[in-house]
Amino acid sequence: MVKFISSTKKSKYEMNRSMKAGLIGIGKMGILHSGILSSMDTVMFAAIAERDKRTHSFVNGIMPDIRVYSDYEEMLKAEELDLVYITTPIHTHVEMAEACVNYGVNFFVEKPLGTSANECLALIRKIRQNPVINMVGYCYHFVDTFQKAKDIVESMILGKLVYLNSYMYVSQELFRKSKGRAIQYEPGYGVLNVLATHLLDVLIWLFNDIHQVQGSIKTHYSRNIEDFAHAYLVFRSGLEGYMDTSWSMWNYRLAEIKIEVEGERGKMILTSDYVKLYLAEKMQWETYYKQDLYRGVEIDVGGPEYTREDIHFIQSVLEKRNTMTYIYYAMKVQTVTDAVYESALNNRLVTIDINRGIE
């Protein structure tokens, strides 16, 4: 079990840690994960790779015992690391994960796995040849209300699930970019892959494989990438319904997911703040608020789900077992994302090979 340092114990640099960790990218998520890792008594946070040299003196000033590199390959070669966190822009994820595999280093990479399923195929092949423990940062698996919803769905208390409606919105891109030379549209960098990958992850996690999609996208505020995406989803189970997403919706200061699912014996409404359950036999609603479901963590940096996520990864590395959101699972999410893009760009229904690159 992963333990955290208490104030009565020695400094982390005086302790015998069982695992040596590195970080690629010292942005917001890099700072978040490094703060959590630094509090674990099983992990020695040893090195950071950051291309922007302006941050090096800052890191050395607050963490003088941590070595800082400009090149992540140099870090992987020089340090004998047990695990690495990759918290860099999406288009760099696959090449950095491949480098970790080449050096036999377990890795955690922030979501999504890449810009497309095709981009990820080489990484899948490398992992097969040289397995390492890996995880993609789909943090909603560790949110209390979403875990409660998973329990409800698996209990079959709602009966056969029939229809759903879902969205993920945030107020992020609300002003039009300056005009300039037109560039070819770039799937993989817009709201569908960057934000709604979380929503697709939750839908696949809760309701299993998606079989077909009919999608549409709209660009308004951004250039060459979509600000709005919409899709009709058909699951292999027979469940059908809609997903909608945008980072250009007013009055959503924080990203918000909402899912409503209808079953033959009731209905469930899910958000980060609550789970509402209606059962036909009782003819009444039950509401489970996040504060009622809360399970404490020893350190909270940005939300308890990130601590649970990191504990899950560290325990998986210690026990040499697959994580809940390893790359084969993340490839399923990526494949559905690609199918929505394909459907939208070609205006047709797309049937999904959910095991593409996995089998």
One domain for residues 199 and 235: yes
- Residue 346 sits in the same domain as residue 215: yes
Q: Tell me: do 67 and 195 sit in the same domain.
A: no
165 and 113 within one domain: no
| 125 and 158 housed in the same domain | no
CATH classification at residue 120: 3.40.50.720
Identify which has the larger pLDDT, 12 or 352: 352
Together in a domain, 133 and 156 = no
Q: Which whole number is the average pLDDT over 159-169?
A: 98
High-pLDDT (> 90) share of the chain, %? 81
Q: For residue 330, what pLDDT band results from cuts at 50, 70 and 90? A: very high
Q: Is residue 1 part of a domain?
A: no
Same domain, 239 and 114: no
Q: What is the CATH number of the domain that holds 176?
A: 3.30.360.10
Q: Is residue 321 part of a domain?
A: no
Whether pLDDT at 271 is above 70: yes
Regarding whether 337 and 223 lie in a shared domain, the answer is yes
Name the more confident of 66 and 57: 66
pLDDT score recorded for residue 187: 87
Domain-ending residue, one of 140, 163, 187: 140
> Within this chain, do residues 217 and 341 fall inside the same structural domain, yes or no?
yes
Mean pLDDT of 249-255: 97
Residues 103 and 166 in one domain: no
Helices (H), 165-288: 191-194, 197-207
Which residues, in sequence order, are CB contacts of 128 under 8 Å at separation 6+?
none
Which position has the token pair 């090149």? 71
Give mean pLDDT, residues 278-301: 94
Residue 171, pLDDT score: 98
Give 256's Cβ-side CA count (13 Å radius): 14
As a whole number, mean pLDDT of residues 90-115 equals: 97
Q: Do 292 and 150 belong to one domain?
A: yes
More confident residue, 358 or 299: 299
Q: What domain count does the chain have?
A: 2
DSSP annotation string for 22-83: EEE--SHHHHHHHHHHHTBTTEEEEEEE-S-GGGHHHHHHH-TTSEEES-HHHHHHHS--SE
149 lies in the same domain as 85: no
Tell whether 5 is covered by a domain.
no
Mean pLDDT, residues 315-341? 96
Per-residue confidence (pLDDT) for residue 14, from 0 to 100: 40
Task: Name the residue range of residue 38's domain.
Answer: 12-140
